[in-house]
Amino acid sequence: MGLPKKTLEDALTLSSADRAELVDHLLASHDRPDPEMDALWTREAEDRIDAFDAGELESIPAREVMDWYLKQ
């Protein structure tokens, strides 16, 4: 399977503004809410907050994380 050649050819004939609009629509079509995934991430966040509040999880200041990341 794959993108039909004609589709790509047609898209490339569009103006820059129209291609940008097409890209926005295509990307938006992938960004649909997934209630099950949202629930899992919510539970994970709540568990991490609970662990931090209970002293079971340490935090690292964002500045330290960014400094480490930028040195890599």
Cβ pair 52, 59 in contact under 8 A: yes
pLDDT tens per residue across span 56-67: 999 999 999 999
At residue 60, the pLDDT reads 94
Report the pLDDT averaged over residues 40-62.
96
Cβ pair 6, 14 in contact under 8 A: no
The DSSP-derived string for 29-59 is HH----HHHHHHHHHHHHHHHHHHHTTSS--
Q: What is the pTM of this model?
A: 0.50
pLDDT tens per residue across span 2-41: 889 999 999 999 999 999 999 999 998 887 888 999 999 9
- Per domain, the residue ranges of the chain are 1-32, 33-72
At residue 1, the pLDDT reads 61
User: For residue 44, what pLDDT band results from cuts at 50, 70 and 90?
Assistant: very high
Distance CA 4, CA 27 (A): 18
Residue 24 identity (one-letter amino acid): D
DSSP classification of residue 14: S
